[in-house]
Amino acid sequence: MSRTARVERVTKETEVLVEVDLDGTGRAEISTGVGFYDHMLHQIARHGGFDVTVRTVGDLEIDAHHTMEDTALALGAAFDQALGDKAGIRRYGSATIPMDEVLVRAAVDLSGRPYVVHDEPVLAPYIGPVYATSMTRHIFESFGQAARMTLHVDVLRAARPGGHPDAHHVVEAQFKAVARALREATAVDPRAAGAIPSTKGAL
């Protein structure tokens, strides 16, 4: 059974097209106009093993907020659509990812109940010219809401000896951890025999 989805989201602020194949090879074609965000969405595809296409045109003349938010909402909706009734999946996934001095843990429950917990240290306000580090939390909140998942992301270690956290490493490790947790949670469980992974019979 194909686990793919195509989502188009059009508002007065953005036009977003997202395509997802949960059983892909990590191929990604990403274009949002926000370079660092593109780099992070490539992490989701590559480390999750998903094929992902994202094409976003947003009001970057104002700032990058709407572009990143609406892209995250469309990506979450695509994951939700591609998962269908979630029969036969593992449902839960977690990953702990090191990136040099940074250590991040992410945990996912494809529960149908959107809830996001996000904890990171205070970072430099920007990575590159337009990616506001305050948006990382909002991206995961938007993605988790639209995907109808419970998502916890915790930065366990970040500080360099005698220095401040490297914002690039902290944020990138979070995206990689979420990707790996999603890879596990969305995987087909050979022991599930196609059953819904819930005593309720629905997710």
* DSSP, residue by residue, 4-25: EEEEEEE-SSEEEEEEEETTS-
Backbone angles phi, psi at 78, to 5 degrees: -65, -40
User: How high is the pLDDT of residue 160?
Assistant: 78
Count of C-beta atoms within a 10 Å radius of residue 38: 18
Query: Residue 161: is its pLDDT beyond 80?
Result: no
Token pair in block for residue 115:
């809830």
User: How high is the pLDDT of residue 157?
Assistant: 96
Query: Residue 149: is its pLDDT beyond 90?
Result: yes
Name the DSSP class of 188.
Answer: B
Encode pLDDT of 24-66 as tens digits.
999 999 999 999 999 999 999 999 999 999 999 999 999 999 9
Q: Compute the distance between CA of residue 195 and CA of residue 203 in angstroms, rounded to an integer.
A: 11
Fold of 4-186: Ribosomal Protein S5; domain 2 (3.30.230)
Q: Is-contact 171 127, C-beta < 8 A?
A: yes
Encode pLDDT of 165-200 as tens digits.
999 999 999 999 999 999 999 999 999 889 999 999
Give the pairing of strands 28-31 and 51-58: parallel
Q: Which residues contact 59 (CB under 8 A, 6 or more apart)?
A: 13, 14, 66, 67
Backbone angles phi, psi at 31, to 5 degrees: -150, 105
User: How high is the pLDDT of residue 151?
Assistant: 98
Structure confidence at residue 74 as a pLDDT band (50, 70, 90): very high
Q: What is the mean pLDDT of residues 97-108?
A: 97
User: How high is the pLDDT of residue 135?
Assistant: 98
Judge if pTM exceeds 0.95: yes
